[in-house]
Structure formats: C-alpha cells, structure tokens
C-alpha cells in the first residue's frame, strides 16, 4: 500500500516540530492534507504553530509537549503512537554539542544519546506493529551528513547520527516487502531563515550563506523522497560533498581534517 494518503482517521507525527526542519516538515505535511501530531518540549510554541496550520490548511493538529530524552514521557508518546493510525512518522528532533567530550557536561551528552538515538529507536518500534498490520506507512528519520564519518569534537552527535543513518537504511531493507517506506534525511547545514547578525551562532558565522539549504525546500524534498521510498535524501552541495567524503575517504584521513573544523565550532 506504501504511504497512505491523508484520511480523517490517520495522522502524521512530527518530532521536533517547534522549529527548523521539523516545523517545515509539519507545515509541508499539513499542506498535503495530513492531520498532525506535533511533538517538542515547548508546547506553547507548538500550539501557536498549530493554530496557523489549522486555519490555513483545515487539518487537525494535536500538540504534545514531550521531552523525548525522558524515558517516562517518551513511553507515554510511544503508547499513543502504537494506538493511533499513523500514516507518516517523522523522527526529526535532535541536538548537537561541539568540543572535546572531556570538557562537555556528561549528563547533557547522555541526554543527546537519549534524544538523538534512543527516542528514534523507541518511537519507530512503537509505530511498526500498526503499520505492518495496516500494510503501509512511511517513516522519515532525520540523521545527518555528520553520521557518515568520525568527527572529533562532535563525538556524541556524530555517533548518535551514525546510529540513525544506519538504523534507517537497515530498516528500509526489512520493510520494503511490507509496503512501508523508510527514508533517511541526511542533511548538512539547513535553516529556516538567515538570522540577524547579532543572533548568528558560531555555525552561522562559519558556514557561508550560499551553502545553507532552506528548511522548507528540505522538508518538501524529504516528503517527496519518502513517497518514492528513496533510501536517502541529501539536500544541497555541502551535504552531498560531506556524504561523498564520508563514504569514500579513508576514515583515518578524514577524522583529523573534520575534527579540526569542528574544533572551531567548539569555540577553540
């Protein structure tokens, strides 16, 4: 059956929908007529965005203020996902830190693993039985070009995204005969809008404007890719270059070069 069309009964779930790529994915799916369940910690931001989408696209939007790094909160959401008719699941929420691991807060690094990797695994597991029973569904996972290579000074993030990249592409092979699509979004730098100079992060300052890819374009490409059951969506020149470098350059050569760049992102 592949990815079901929107109906009054089914929905699309988007994690990390309060900003960036997740916000754009939610809007793209709403514009295609899907009822939504949007997830992030900031329920008030989700609620405001939901109001706009209900009005503009006439879809239902259920907001879930959930800390996906928290096992208890995550389990409740997983139960809801298992019980609902989820046509599309976008596992997108994720965060990064930069710098040598020894200088970073160990609790926050564990939080990143829980959010970026464990929550993706948990929620995919929750959605699977229903999708298999219904004979269709789509799972889009947001990994990263950073998951293709060892990255000193970004170790937890790169490893968590290596998990997502591999999990998505492995699961896709299993689910193809079941009519369930699984697509990996593995971007490089993506943002909704260029920030005002005073709000620019170190990453904004290090990556030239022309290399940033628009989040709305990325979302459209990703959902189109999911419908076609593309294995991997890699938007933009820098993402493609990072993917090629990660896949074809010996890892021992790659690590110190990339590590030097990410050292700057760690503030050194």
Ligand X SMILES: NC(=O)c1ccc[n+]([C@@H]2O[C@H](COP(=O)([O-])OP(=O)(O)OC[C@H]3O[C@@H](n4cnc5c(N)ncnc54)[C@H](OP(=O)(O)O)[C@@H]3O)[C@@H](O)[C@H]2O)c1
> Of 1 and 244, which has the nearer Cβ to ligand X?
244
* Cβ-count burial 164-192 (b if 16+ within 10 Å, e if not): bbebbbebbeebeeebbbbbbbbbbbbbb
Helix (H, G, I), strand (E, B) or coil at 7: coil
Of 213-252, binders to ligand X (CB under 6 A) are none
Q: Does 150 bind ligand X (CB under 6 A)?
A: no
With CB under 6 A as the contact rule, which of the stretches 1-9, 51-59, 86-94, 219-227 interacts with ligand X?
Answer: 86-94
Residue 85: half-sphere exposure toward Cβ, Cα within 13 Å: 14
> Of 4 and 29, which has the nearer Cβ to ligand X?
29
With CB under 6 A as the contact rule, which of the stretches 1-9, 122-130, 186-194, 227-235 interacts with ligand X?
Answer: 186-194
Can you tell me the distance from the alpha carbon of 10 to that of 133, in angstroms, rounded to the nearest whole number? 14
Q: Which of 34, 57, 108, 157 is catalytic?
A: 157
CA distances from 21 to 189, 192, 222, 242 (A): 11, 7, 10, 19
Q: How far is CA 145 from the centre of its chain?
A: 12
The question of whether 157 is a catalytic residue gets the answer yes
> Of 188 and 259, which has the nearer Cβ to ligand X?
188
With CB under 6 A as the contact rule, which of the stretches 52-60, 94-102, 127-135, 227-235 interacts with ligand X?
Answer: 94-102
Q: How far is CA 107 from the centre of its chain?
A: 22
Structural element, H or E, at residue 190: strand 190-191
> Of 68 and 182, which has the nearer Cβ to ligand X?
68
Of 15-34, binders to ligand X (CB under 6 A) are 16-22
The contact set with ligand X (CB under 6 A) reads 16-22, 40-42, 45, 66-69, 92-96, 115, 142, 144, 187-191
Task: Give catalytic residues, as residue numbers.
Answer: 157
């Amino acid at each position: 059956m592949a990815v079901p069309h929107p109906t009054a009964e089914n929905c699309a779930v988007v994690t990390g929908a309060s900003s960036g790529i997740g916000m754009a994915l939610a809007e793209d799916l709403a514009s295609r007529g899907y009822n939504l369940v949007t997830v992030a910690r900031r329920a008030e931001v989700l609620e405001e965005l939901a109001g706009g989408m209900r009005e503009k696209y006439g879809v239902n939007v259920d907001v879930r203020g959930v800390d996906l790094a928290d096992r208890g909160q995550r389990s409740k959401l997983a139960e809801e996902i298992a019980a609902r008719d989820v046509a599309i699941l976008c596992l997108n929420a994720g965060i990064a830190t930069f710098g040598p691991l020894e200088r970073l807060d160990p609790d926050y690094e564990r939080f990143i693993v829980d959010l970026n990797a464990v929550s993706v695994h948990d929620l995919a597991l929750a959605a699977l039985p229903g999708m298999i029973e219904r004979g269709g569904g789509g799972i889009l996972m947001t990994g990263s070009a950073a998951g293709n290579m060892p990255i000193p000074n970004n170790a937890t993030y790169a490893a968590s995204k290596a998990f997502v990249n591999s999990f998505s592409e492995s699961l896709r092979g299993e689910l193809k005969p079941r009519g369930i699509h699984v697509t990996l979004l593995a971007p490089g730098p993506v943002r909704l809008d260029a920030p005002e100079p005073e709000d620019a992060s170190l990453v904004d300052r290090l990556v030239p404007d022309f290399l940033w890819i628009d989040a709305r374009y990325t979302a459209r490409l990703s959902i189109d890719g999911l419908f076609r059951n593309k294995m991997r969506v890699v938007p933009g020149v820098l993402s493609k270059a990072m993917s090629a470098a990660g896949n074809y350059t010996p890892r021992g050569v790659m690590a110190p070069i990339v590590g030097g760049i990410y050292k700057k992102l760690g503030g050194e």
